[in-house]
Amino acid sequence: MSRIVLKAILGFVMRVLYRPKVEGMERIPATGPVILAGNHVTFIDSLFLSLVVKRPVYFIGKDEYVTGKGLKGRLMAWFFTSAGMIPVDRDGGHGGVAALMTGRRVLEEGSVFGIYPEGTRSPDGRLYRGRTGIARLTLMTGAPVVPFAMIGTDKVQPGGKGRPHIAPVTVRFGEPLDFSRYDGMDRDRYVLRAVTDEVMSDVMELSGQEYVDIYATKARAA
């Protein structure tokens, strides 16, 4: 119920203020597990994704978003969980495994799981090398991957902080990718890299971003 309420209210505000253009929505399967994999340019990407997709979308978020104290903390927890965020401690030694297993559980339940293969927001608007967790998920579950691109959200919230601005937004979905030809090969690092690179190639084509073949975390640290 909270998801329906949040989507109704924010969906109305979003349509009035931003009038987002959505392309290729029909490419998302109406039923069954599916992975939505796209670029990540600002904090509110997940919010726009959840609001434009007809099916509920679940994604991983930092547990600190739902552990705040007082009224503000409770409101933030309600907001993020209603938007589809599943809190995971990603800073711990097993954070990556926890995120992977959470995504696998969502897909095995037949739901939609959203993921940003870059692993973090782009530090400069370019598209960075994808991490192979996306490949592990599709090969372990058999779920198709629908690539997507967020275009213009970096103008809505430059730098991922501060009050959102009014700017045109486009959410573009590509053709579903089927990797069943690699069935049973989810531990082969060459296969994992090939699958990940194929997904990122489609994201690059959809977004029009310049591609950089290093991890975004390395670029951010530099």
**CATH code for the domain in which residue 50 is found:** 3.40.1130.10
**Region 154-169 average pLDDT:** 79
pTM higher than 0.95, yes or no?
Answer: no
Q: 212: which DSSP letter?
A: E
Answer yes or no: is 162 within a domain: yes
Q: What is the mean pLDDT of the chain?
A: 89
Q: How confident is the model at residue 160 (pLDDT cuts 50, 70, 90)?
A: low
159: left (phi over 0), alpha (psi -120 to 50) or beta: left
**Are 117 and 149 within 8 A, CB to CB?**
no
Structure tokens at 208: 């029009």
In a domain, 164, yes or no: yes
Q: Is residue 6 part of a domain?
A: no
pLDDT digits (tens, 9 = 90+) for 106-134: 999 999 999 999 999 999 999 999 999 99
Q: Is residue 4 part of a domain?
A: no
Of the segments 7-21, 47-61, 150-164, 192-206, which one has the largest average pLDDT value?
192-206
Domain count, the chain: 1
Residue 10 located in a structural domain: no
In which domain, by residue range, is 112 found? 20-220
CB distance 58 to 111 below 8 Å:
yes
Q: Between 167 and 146, name the one with better pLDDT.
A: 146
Q: Residue 210 falls within a domain, yes or no?
A: yes
Q: Is residue 145 part of a domain?
A: yes
- Please tell me the predicted confidence (pLDDT) of residue 130: 97
Kindly state whether residue 158 falls inside one of the protein's structural domains: yes
pLDDT in tens, 67-110: 777 877 778 777 777 778 888 876 655 667 888 999 999 999 99
Mean pLDDT, rounded, for 31-60: 93
% residues pLDDT > 90 (the chain): 59
